[in-house]
Structures are given as structure tokens and as C-alpha cells.
Amino acid sequence: MTAVDALFSAFTIPFMARALAVMLVLAVVAGVVGVLVNLRGLEFISDGLTHAVFPGLAIGLAIGGTSGLVPGAAIAALAGAAALTWLDRAGITSDAAIAIVLTAAFSIGVIVVSKSDDYAGELEALLFGRVLTIPPDQVLPLVAVSLVALVAVGLTLKQQLFRAFDARGSRAAGDSALVLDLVLNASIALVVVAAASTVGTLLVLALLIVPGAVARLVTRRLWWLFPVAAGFAAVAAWLGLATGFAISVGAGVDVPAGSTVVGVFVVGYAIVLGAFGLGQWARGRGVRRGRGLDTRPPSSGAPRPPVPTLSGEGR
């Protein structure tokens, strides 16, 4: 099998085409939402929401089969998002408290799954995903869930960014911290729902965290973070599915598609880190040693070079 076959021809197969359609939409949305997760430092809460979704997946599967996965996960995720927002507003969001609550939720999911006839198979599917076996009638719900998250973030994006960089200023401007936190946590939860139904609950964080981290390495311009993260996520999802197909079909080695996608995300991050991160580190050492700094006093009247900022001001 040639590389062209894996990258293009493989997606003429119906189940591969469905997987690609869902993963591209999910990857783009996860990339955009993941930038806000990165800027707000909400990685641990995102991890917690993946645990909160698990019992919903298990209960939905037990009650309605595969058609019950998305509704069950959505209810559990939104309930978890509301609970985490309430804990934050109450001032009791210690890491220990969140870990205890969400570990309990995960254990409930395991108990529910253990009552099924195919315990091992169902548990593996929920933990590691079923991206290549997405039923045709599940494509639209998964895409719809992802797009709802994207719309929610898009409608509040400026306010979300204001809150990320200046929480006090955001409140002074009249923005409701409770509403913004609920919207963001709910959007994260919906991304987790779609991702947990495809790549599995244990691999969700890669889709949410890696694209935003890559974007922070590539650009310091605030508004460029979102297209960079979305673009990286889409390309990595495509290459991940193609790589898994090439290994499984071409090389005859059966590998989980979801894990392969996540592996490509991580490898992509490592490549970007090597290309951009080391350069930033070297420039940082140069600045600390005084190289490239404008040492002229302000009274000289000479304009100073602009200071790079995340928002890109002064560039």
C-alpha cells in the first residue's frame, strides 16, 4: 500500500469516510475550545469532565445501546460542568475535592458496565473508543454536539478572552463570571462527549490539550492561536486515521484507530516543540544574557523596539 492510498483512497471506504468526517469536525472544535482551556489553565477540570462523562456513556449504552451513548454522555457531561462551576463559585475547588468527586463518577460507570454481558468488550470500547465503527445514525448527533460547543464559544469568545487575561476587568465591564464559566465548561463537556464516543474517555485530553499547546508554541498573536490549533488538529486527525489504516491493512498489524490518532497528535507536538520551542528557549537565554536588548536610556529619544505580547500588540 502506497502513502497515497492511505492518505486518500482509504477514505473512499464508507466506515473510513464516516470516521474522517466526525474526526475533522471534532478536531477543529476541540482545537478552538482547547485554546481557551490552555489560556485559562483548565486542563485538570477537562480531565475531570472526562471522568464525569463515563457513567453517562455506560448508562446510555445499557439503556439504549449505541444510540444512547451521546444522550447519556451529554446529560452526564453537562451535569458535571454545572457541578464543577458551582464548586469553583463556592471556593472549594481543591484538586483533591475534584479528584474524589470525579473518581467516584468513574467508578459508577465501571459498575454499570460490569453488569453487561460483554463486560470486557464494552469497557474497552468506552475507554479506548470506537472511531472506525461509528454507526451511520450517530454521525449527525456527534457533529451537532461538536458544533453546539463551537457556537457557544464563538458567541462569547471576546468575553472569554477578556476573562482569561483580566478576570477583575471582565467583572468590572459587566461580564458575568458565572455565565462565562458555565458556557466554557459546558462547551468543554460537549467536546468531551463527542470525543469520548470516538477516541474513548482515556484519550480525550489529547484532542483538547495538544492543539492549544502547539498553537502557543507557533505564534504569540492571540487571534492566530485559534486557526493554528484548529488546523493542526484537523491535519493530525487525518494523518492519524490514515496511519492507522496503513499499519492495520498495509502492514497487517492491528492497531486501535483512536490510539493512533492520539499518537500522531503527540508526535506532532514533539516536532513543533523541537522546531519552535527550542528556538524560543535559545532566544530566552539570549535575552537573559543581555543580547539584543536596547540599553539606551529613555532620555536619548530613540524609539525602543516593541515588546512581543501574546496579543501581538506592537508587532
The string of pLDDT tens digits covering residues 208-234 is 899 999 999 999 898 899 999 999 999
Banded pLDDT at 288 (limits 50, 70, 90): low
Could you count the other beta carbons within 10 Å of the beta carbon of residue 266? 12
Domains assigned to the chain:
3-292 (1.10.3470.10)
Q: Model-level pTM?
A: 0.77
Contact in structure between 287 and 293 (CB atoms under 8 Å): yes
Question: What pLDDT is stored for residue 35 in this prediction?
Answer: 94
Q: On the CB side of 59, how many CA atoms lie within 13 Å of its CA?
A: 17
Q: pLDDT at residue 296 above 50?
A: no
Q: On the CB side of 87, how many CA atoms lie within 13 Å of its CA?
A: 20
Using CA atoms, how far residue 144 sits from 73, 81, 141, 199, in Å, is 14, 19, 5, 17
| Angle, helices 14-40/225-245, rounded to nearest 10 degrees | 140
Average pLDDT, the chain: 79
**What would the pLDDT profile of 256-266 be if each residue is shown by its tens digit?**
888 899 999 99
Mean predicted confidence (pLDDT) in 201-207: 81
Burial class (CB in 10 A: 0-12, 13-18, 19+), 279: exposed
33 or 56: which leads in pLDDT:
33
End-to-end CA distance of the chain: 47
**What would the pLDDT profile of 74-107 be if each residue is shown by its tens digit?**
888 788 778 777 776 666 655 666 676 677 777 7
| CA 128 – CA 116 distance, rounded (Å) | 18
Mean predicted confidence (pLDDT) in 159-165: 92
Residue type, 127: L
Question: What pLDDT is stored for residue 230 in this prediction?
Answer: 95
Burial class (CB in 10 A: 0-12, 13-18, 19+), 287: exposed
